[in-house]
């Protein structure tokens, strides 16, 4: 989604999180498709629910690398990522 409303909310989340990946601690300074570029991620997949989609508390700043690897693999299995999952993965 690339509406003005989304861009405004996205920037608000990135500023709130100080452009730091909330999963890895990486500084999100990359551009375009760089591994350290910022992605605003829905913690719980919204699956078309507009309330969940626009819920700022359901959003986090993450790196493109983390989002496209860890988060996507979890969601493809039909699961929801929880930060505690990282500890169980070693």
Q: What domain range is 44 assigned to?
A: 4-88
> How many domains does one find in the chain?
1
Query: Does 34 have pLDDT greater than 70?
Result: yes
Query: Does 39 have pLDDT greater than 50?
Result: yes
Q: Which of 8-17, 35-44, 69-78, 81-90 has the lowest mean pLDDT?
A: 81-90
pLDDT value for 79: 66
Query: Does 27 have pLDDT greater than 60?
Result: yes
Q: Output the pTM of the full model.
A: 0.82
Is residue 67 within a helix (H) or strand (E), and if so which, with residue range?
none
Pair 23, 70: CB distance under 8 Å: yes
Query: Any idea what the Cα angle at residue 41 is, between residues 46 and 9, rounded to 5°?
Result: 90
The stretch 25-36 carries a mean pLDDT of 96
């Amino acid at each position: 989604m690339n509406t003005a409303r989304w861009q405004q909310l996205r920037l608000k989340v990135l500023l709130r999180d100080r452009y730091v990946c909330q999963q890895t601690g990486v500084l999100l300074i990359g551009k375009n498709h760089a591994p350290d570029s910022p992605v605003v991620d829905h913690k719980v997949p919204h699956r078309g629910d507009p309330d969940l989609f626009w819920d700022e508390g359901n959003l986090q700043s993450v790196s493109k690398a983390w989002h496209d690897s860890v988060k996507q693999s979890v969601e493809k299995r039909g699961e929801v990522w929880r930060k505690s999952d990282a500890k169980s993965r070693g």
